[in-house]
Amino acid sequence: MQSYKTTIEFSIRTHDDKISIMATMRTYEDGCAAAHALDLIGERWALLVVRELVLGPKRFTDLRAGLPGASPNVLSQRLRELEGAGVVMRRKLPPPAASRVYELTEWGEELEPVIIQLGRWGARSPSKPQDAPLGVDSLILSFRTMFDPDAADGFDASYELRLGEDRFRAVVEEGRFEIVRGNVDRPEAVIKTDPSTLAALVYEGRSLDEALRSGDAEFSGDLQAIERFLGLFSLPEPAPSAST
């Protein structure tokens, strides 16, 4: 039977009577490469930090916004651990920004297909909560995950998605789909909305006309191209529940 070990380092600061406890090593002590991978990215929030960085570098405040359930201390610890493992690195942006950002290393970027396939697997869960909030990066990565090449047959177009302060360039070309951060020169259509509304339009069958009338979304450009975009993504069939 394989064991799981945790080494805890205690640091006592007597001047303010506070005790800080930090886990410095966790290991399954298992020679399997999958077990070693879990040693590196299996801690709570670790893989979600990777998810938040798949689309590009982020400041600590941006990561906090994307992972509101993670406390600043826990998030800082996960970032230190991922940096120590060679998955994440820090760098300083050139002026005028001059901000420190976190980004995936080249090796860390290899986790993107893991995130994508894990998302597709999780989307089939019969117990997946339907009313949980969906962040911007989660929605964008879901488009990469759920893109249906057959739905894009014979259709090429470019889009700009404006989700709050975030801008994304989406391109459909020859049955392929690409979406990255950034603006688009002369897109066929621009979609301005919030992640929840866009998710409802794409995955829940919300009416485009109703979203426009309610003011939850704004669109410009080719309406047919917008309707086609909303139909490019399909959820997989749910897995059977244990009771069936």
* 8 Å CB contact between 179 and 140: yes
pLDDT the model gives residue 8: 43
Q: What is the dihedral of CA 28, 69, 162, 206, to 10 degrees?
A: 100
Q: How many CB atoms lie within 10 A of CB 173?
A: 12
Task: Give the pairing of strands 189-193 and 218-221.
Answer: antiparallel
Please give the average pLDDT of every successive group of 10 residues along the chain, which has 244 residues.
Answer: 47 45 65 92 95 95 94 96 96 82 97 95 90 90 95 94 95 94 93 96 94 96 94 93 68
pLDDT the model gives residue 94: 82
- β partners of residue 160: 169, 190
Domain range list for the chain: 5-110, 132-230
Task: For the domain covering 132-230, report its CATH number.
Answer: 3.30.1050.10
Q: For the domain with range 5-110, which CATH number is right: 3.40.50.10490, 1.10.10.10, 2.30.40.10, 1.20.120.1200?
A: 1.10.10.10
pTM equals 0.84
What's 132-200 look like in SS3?
Answer: CCCCHHHHHHHHHHHECHHHHCCCCEEEEEEECCEEEEEEEECCEEEEEECCCCCCCEEEEECHHHHHH
